[in-house]
């Protein structure tokens, strides 16, 4: 008997350690960057090198795997985040190639929610560009560890050190370059690995040559940089410091362990370099991703979005209920988050990140948003342009499933016996709206259905009906976002839509409030009456920051004493206030930057109710706002325009005419490298409403030589006429 038990236990232990090792070998990685930095090209090369594809696709030929949507191919940009799986050095890498254009930032947000690590790609000529900074901060907010890849070292004017300096200046105080480029620009042929002090080179078609010694002319430089790397790491890591003090040097193995730890904690950023287009530097990038970025076992457990029960002390944390934690353990109850939904012709695909448990084909899962159970008919691993079916997936994995019909982005799918709800990714508030209607009246219903399907896939798209005109409206994050949506409907549903002129989402900010505002709600019509008496102080908060949402837009407090207003009525008052803030007195726009304090109130023994207090708060605050002073706000964007020097004057004039505030003008580099165009850069804050059609205008005014990028910069006071 005893022997049997021992055997069983050790077999189980062996199985457990195998599963553990399998999860430790998973990397869920995102590729993040400014538009055009080369994310899709890097992804393409990774798929090629890992044997997932057999040819190298190019963005400009429309032949890449991850930019598979016809619009992505036509426009040459990534629009939808694509998830693909591949294998490298005994590890499974689930890779998400994200879009760089700001209008699709919500795709990045949703991806970041399920990633454990990221590769931030930079253009070796441009360095840190505005949208790289935005996605970097986004990743920081999600606590996603990053390594950096300085791409395009083959370009004229490319320079690793300048790019590293711009990372240091704009993103992180401690970028640690672990490579030294061999050759520059056209003659960039390889890198020196500063850890192992070996040279990695690639031949003309991008095939890796055998590893060799550091070229003689770079030996001193490599030694100096290795020394600097040891010092920088020793400063941050106790083991490395000890080794450095004892032996005067730090071994490659200690450096690697320290770099992994520093990446995980975010104390330093490992920087690699290469040229994705020329197939150089991708193998070491993969090695670094595997070595330094976390596995699902290294990230904190997920937590239920619902508050912990007050009596839950000592309860089994995995036994259902609320306030639970789930770890990347295949034995725990299934816990998965849907982060992407695609209404593909082959059926609806739901992409899942599994946080705990094991998902088996044919399993019944609970959708905690709808409370319905659904069956997972098939589990797919997305390998580039094809899928492979699998019969199960484990904690830590990213897979797509077919079967669930109601799951949306942000839905938790879990074990029906152990319900849990995870925090859904927060969707950005739309800032641009257009009216849409079908070109042919007969297509009206078809258009509505197609748009509704799109909004299901992309929660940052909103559909509504204008209460005044009765027109259907579509709102999103920018002009391009809406243009792509309408075009997708045309291509996929075959419905031609016409859109009106775009408008921006305005807000109303409180400038000066009222104190001691008394509102009495008393209604007596036959049966039970309604009675609520409130005294409100309404004050402005420091100006709301808009889309970044860092500051609260509405703060509520109660200073009522002596139980004059029972607690549940106070909550009803807060809810009523929120309702009132949805439509401001200036033009029915959402009101922001408001602090409301309930200072006093009174109830009626029979006629008071939560409903009465809620209604009183809604009507009362609405009236208080009419007695206050408000100011109209409009969304503004930070615009970076890059233009040839000779067009600078025209561009500045045009920006001024668009109510732009010029923040900086950087003249063309006096020593522009040979072959690189001398271009100046302008940074300006411009109202979003003035940027419609700017792409075409800029192209026209600069004969196609100007480019610009924008990123949301919150809200700013708008001219009164905008209401
Ligand atoms: N010279 C050079 N060009 C590159 C390199 N990598 C990418 N490119 C080119 O840069 C352009 C943009 O590359 P993409 O891979 O589409 O960039 P992206 O970051 O995916 O862009 P978005 O998805 O639109 O944000 C394409 O024309 C690429 O061929 C490189 O290493 N060197
Ligand atoms: Mg791309």
How is 72-104 classified by DSSP, letter by letter?
HHHHTS--S-EEEEEEETTEEEEEEEPP-SGGG
**102 CB less than 6 Å from ligand 1?**
no
pLDDT tens, position by position, 238-287? 999 999 999 999 999 999 999 999 999 999 999 999 999 999 999 999 99
- Are 478 and 691 in contact, with CB atoms under 8 Å apart? no
Separation of alpha carbons 164 and 654, rounded Å? 34
Other Cβ atoms less than 10 A from the Cβ of 162: the count is 15
Give me the pLDDT at residue 45, please.
Answer: 94
Candidates 167, 175, 215, 168; CA nearest to 191 is 215
Burial class (CB in 10 A: 0-12, 13-18, 19+), 640: buried
Ligand 1 atom nearest to 34, measured from its CA = 25
* Assessment of whether the complete model's pTM goes beyond 0.95: no
In whole angstroms, what is the distance from residue 703 CA to residue 92 CA?
47
- pLDDT confidence of residue 573: 96
Distance CA 712, CA 693 (A): 17
CB atoms closer than 10 angstroms to residue 627: 11
Whether residue 577 has its Cβ less than 6 Å from ligand 1: no
CA distance 186 to 238: 41
Q: Is the CB of 56 under 6 A from ligand 1?
A: no
Q: In what order do the strands lie in the sheet with 190-193?
A: 179-182, 190-193, 198-201
Q: 643 CA to middle of ligand 1, Å?
A: 20
How far apart CA 709 and CA 689 sit, in angstroms, is: 15
Q: How far is CA 79 from CA 67, 179, 456, 480, in A?
A: 8, 32, 16, 10
Query: Would the CB of 38 count as within 6 Å of ligand 1?
Result: yes
Ligand 2 mean position to 266 CA, how many Å? 25
Residue 191's pLDDT is what? 97
pLDDT reported for residue 529: 84
Return the pLDDT at 18: 81
Please work out whether the CB of residue 276 comes within 6 Å of at least one atom of ligand 1. Answer: yes
In which region does residue 406 sit, left (phi positive, over 0), alpha (psi from -120 to 50) or beta (all else)? alpha
CB-ligand 1 contact for 507 (6 Å cutoff): no
What the block records as the tokens of 495 is: 């419905």
Ranges of residues in the chain with a pLDDT under 70 are 1-15, 307-323, 344-346, 384-385, 526, 543-552, 668-678, 721-723
Pairing relationship of beta strands 472-476 and 175-177 according to DSSP bridges = unpaired
Name the token pair of 578: 């929120």
Cross-strand partners of 631: 509
Q: Is 243 helix (H, G, I), strand (E, B) or coil?
A: helix
Bridge partners of residue 83, in order along the sequence: 96
Exposed/middle/buried for residue 371 (C-beta within 10 Å: 0-12, 13-18, 19+): exposed
Q: CB atoms < 10 A from the CB of 558, how many?
A: 18
Integer CA distances (angstroms), 297 to 20, 341, 356, 478, in order: 8, 26, 11, 38
Which pLDDT value is given to residue 11? 55
Question: Any idea which ligand is nearest the CA of 44?
Answer: 1
> Any residues with CB less than 8 A from the CB of 107 and at least 6 apart, and which?
79, 80, 81, 98, 99, 458
Specify the pLDDT at position 712: 84
Rounded to the nearest angstrom, the distance between the alpha carbon of 14 and the centre of ligand 2 is 42
Q: Are strands 386-390 and 392-394 parallel, antiparallel or unpaired?
A: unpaired
What tokens were used for 549?
């949402």
Instruction: Give the per-residue pLDDT at 541.
Output: 87
Distance 63 CA to ligand 1 centre (A): 13
327 phi and psi, to 5 degrees? Answer: -105, 165
Q: Residues 6 or more apart from 676 whose CB is under 8 A from it?
A: 125, 156, 157
Sign of CA dihedral 102, 107, 110, 114: negative
The best mutation among 40, 107, 118, 186 to test binding of ligand 1, ranked by most ligand atoms within 8 Å of the C-beta, falls on: 40
Q: Nearest Cα to 33, choosing from 113, 114, 104? A: 104
478 lines ligand 1 (CB under 6 A): no
Q: Which tokens hold the place of 426?
A: 């927060």
The rounded distance, in Å, linking the Cα atoms of 498 and 490 is 10
- Nearest to 466, CA basis, from 507, 427, 503, 428: 503
By residue count, the chain amounts to 723
The HSE-up count of residue 685 (CA atoms within 13 Å, CB side) is 10
Q: Whose CA is nearest to atom 9 of ligand 1?
A: 38
Q: Which of these, 585, 572, 574, 669, lies nearest to 622 by C-alpha position?
A: 585
**What distance in Å separates the CA atoms of residue 244 and residue 241, rounded to the nearest whole number?**
5
Nearest to 473, CA basis, from 499, 506, 455:
499
For residue range 153-164, list pLDDT tens digits in order. 999 999 999 999
Residue in 28, 681, 27 with CA at minimum distance from that of residue 351: 28
The residue whose C-alpha atom lies closest to atom 26 belonging to ligand 1 is: 59
Round to whole Å and give the CA distance between 716 and 406: 39
In terms of DSSP H, where are the helices of 627-680?
A: 648-657
């Amino acid at each position: 008997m005893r022997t049997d038990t021992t055997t069983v236990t050790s077999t189980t232990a062996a199985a457990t350690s195998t599963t553990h090792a399998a999860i430790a070998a998973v990397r869920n990685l995102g590729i993040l960057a400014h538009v055009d930095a080369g994310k899709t090209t890097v992804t393409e090369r990774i798929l090629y090198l890992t044997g997932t594809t057999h040819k190298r696709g190019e963005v400009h030929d429309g032949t890449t795997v991850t930019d598979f949507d016809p619009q992505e191919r036509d426009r040459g940009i990534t629009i939808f985040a694509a998830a693909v799986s591949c294998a490298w050095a005994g590890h499974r890498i689930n890779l998400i190639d994200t879009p760089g254009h700001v209008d699709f930032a919500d795709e990045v947000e949703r991806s970041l929610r399920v990633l454990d690590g990221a590769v931030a790609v930079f253009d070796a000529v441009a360095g840190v560009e505005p949208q790289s900074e935005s996605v970097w901060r986004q990743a920081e907010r999600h606590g996603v560890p990053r390594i950096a890849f300085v791409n395009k070292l083959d370009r004229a004017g490319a320079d690793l050190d300048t790019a590293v300096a711009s990372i240091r200046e704009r993103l992180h105080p401690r970028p640690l370059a672990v490579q030294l480029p061999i050759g520059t620009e056209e003659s960039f042929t390889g890198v020196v690995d500063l850890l192992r002090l070996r040279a990695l080179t690639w031949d003309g078609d991008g095939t890796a040559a055998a590893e060799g010694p550091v070229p003689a002319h770079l030996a001193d430089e490599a030694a100096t940089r290795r020394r600097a790397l040891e010092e920088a790491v020793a400063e941050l890591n106790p083991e490395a410091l000890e080794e450095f003090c004892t032996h005067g040097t730090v071994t490659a193995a200690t450096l690697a362990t320290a770099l992994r730890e520093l990446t995980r904690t975010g104390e330093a950023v490992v920087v690699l370099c290469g040229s994705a287009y020329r197939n150089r530097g991708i193998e070491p990038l993969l090695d670094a991703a595997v070595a330094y970025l976390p596995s699902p076992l290294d990230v904190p457990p997920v937590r239920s979005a619902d508050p912990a029960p007050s009596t839950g002390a000592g309860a089994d944390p995995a036994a259902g209920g609320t306030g639970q934690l789930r770890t990347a353990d295949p034995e725990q109850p299934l816990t998965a988050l849907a982060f992407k939904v695609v209404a593909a012709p082959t059926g609806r695909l739901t992409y899942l990140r599994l946080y705990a448990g094991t998902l088996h084909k044919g399993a019944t899962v609970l959708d905690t948003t709808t409370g319905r159970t659904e069956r997972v008919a098939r589990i797919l691993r997305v390998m580039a342009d094809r899928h492979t079916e699998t019969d199960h997936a484990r904690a830590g994995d990213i897979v797509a499933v077919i079967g669930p019909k109601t799951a949306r982005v942000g839905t938790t799918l879990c074990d029906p016996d152990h319900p849990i709800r995870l925090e859904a990714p927060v969707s950005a508030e739309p800032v641009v709206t257009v009216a849409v209607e079908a070109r042919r009246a007969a297509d009206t219903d078809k258009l509505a259905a197609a748009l509704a399907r799109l909004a299901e896939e992309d929660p940052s798209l909103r559909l509504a009906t204008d209460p005044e005109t009765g027109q259907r409206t579509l709102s999103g994050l920018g002009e391009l976002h809406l243009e792509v949506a309408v075009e997708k409907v045309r291509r996929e549903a075959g419905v031609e839509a016409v859109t009106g002129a775009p408008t921006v989402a305005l807000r109303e900010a409180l400038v000066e409030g009222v104190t001691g505002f008394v509102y009495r709600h008393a209604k007596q019509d036959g049966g039970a009456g309604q009675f609520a008496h409130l005294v409100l102080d309404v004050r402005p908060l420091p100006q709301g920051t808009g889309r970044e949402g860092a500051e609260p837009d509405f703060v509520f407090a109660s200073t009522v004493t002596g139980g004059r207003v029972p607690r549940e009525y106070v909550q009803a008052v807060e809810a009523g206030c929120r309702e009132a803030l949805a439509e401001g007195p200036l033009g029915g726009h959402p009101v922001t930057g408001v602090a409301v304090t309930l200072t006093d109130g009174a109830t009626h023994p029979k006629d008071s109710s939560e409903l009465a207090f809620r209604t009183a708060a809604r009507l009362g605050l609405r009236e208080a706002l009419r007695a206050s002073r408000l100011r109209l706000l409009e969304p503004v964007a930070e615009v970076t325009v890059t233009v040839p020097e000779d067009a600078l004057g025209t561009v500045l004039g045009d920006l001024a005419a668009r109510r732009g505030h010029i923040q900086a003008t950087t003249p063309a580099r006096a020593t522009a490298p040979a072959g690189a165009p001398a271009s100046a850069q302008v940074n300006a804050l411009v109202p979003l409403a003035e940027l419609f059609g700017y792409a075409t205008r800029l192209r026209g005014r600069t004969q196609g030589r100007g480019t610009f990028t924008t990123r949301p910069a919150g809200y700013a006071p708008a001219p009164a006429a905008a209401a």
